[in-house]
Amino acid sequence: MSALLPPLPGPETPLDGPELLQLGAVEDEPCLRADAARNRARLLDAAARLVAEHGAAGVTMEAVAAAANVGKGTVFRRFGDRTGLLTALLDHSERNFQAAFLGGPPPLGPGSEPAERLRAFGVAYLRRAIEELDLLLAAEGGPDRRFTSPAHRLHHRHLAVLLRRAAPDADAELLAHTLLGYLNPPLIHHLVRQCGTPPARLETGWTDLVDRITGPEQGT
């Protein structure tokens, strides 16, 4: 088993935790000095304006530095690289999504059966992904980063725990990766943008996949 994966919680491990994980590196965000926090907010505001005006392709480290009237080195020091900058832009919606599936109302949040929560997770993710598809695609990390980001690891853990409860005899860790593959932004781009697949068909396909994995008694 890969050492990159966190240990799968036991059957009695609580499914939902109070702490939300941000999409990018944690760094020193909770204790940023006031001036550093203002600079970070200014850079993100400049990047968001560039996305609105030119799309995600228009967001470069140089363009953000110019829009925020700072040196390019400041942007690199704050975010590391373009992927770090773009993931920081996605952080707000990621935190909202995490809050919804960790502690929001059912069926996405606690209170519903595991299979129902699995169905709701995929539908919610697909809707969010389609809305932010260009930014998600631009923020895609390479193979060494794609599966190890805090957010991806949390998504995987959440699905694995739900699968462990909904299908106790299955290999929950591997099936969680399979389900997350269905929600891969490049695949969504191919199906929706290139093939013209209606989003509603993707949602139906997700629920059908969950039902087939969890069994007919869980899918009804």
Q: Which pLDDT value is given to residue 32? A: 54
Q: Per-residue pLDDT tens for 111-165?
A: 999 999 999 999 999 999 999 998 888 888 777 778 888 899 999 999 999 999 9
Per-residue pLDDT at 177:
97
Residues of the chain with CATH 1.10.10: 29-80
Q: What's the CA gap between 169 and 4, in Å, rounded?
A: 23
Confidence class for position 216, pLDDT limits 50, 70, 90: low
Q: Which residue has the tokens 């900058």?
A: 85
Residues 60 and 120: their CA atoms lie apart, in Å, by: 35
23, two tokens: 């999409």
Which residue type is seen at 110? P
Q: Is 24 exposed, middle or buried (0-12, 13-18, 19+ CB in 10 A)?
A: buried
Residues of the chain with CATH 1.10.357: 84-219
Task: Assign domain 29-80 one CATH number from 2.40.50, 1.10.10, 3.40.470, 3.40.30.
Answer: 1.10.10
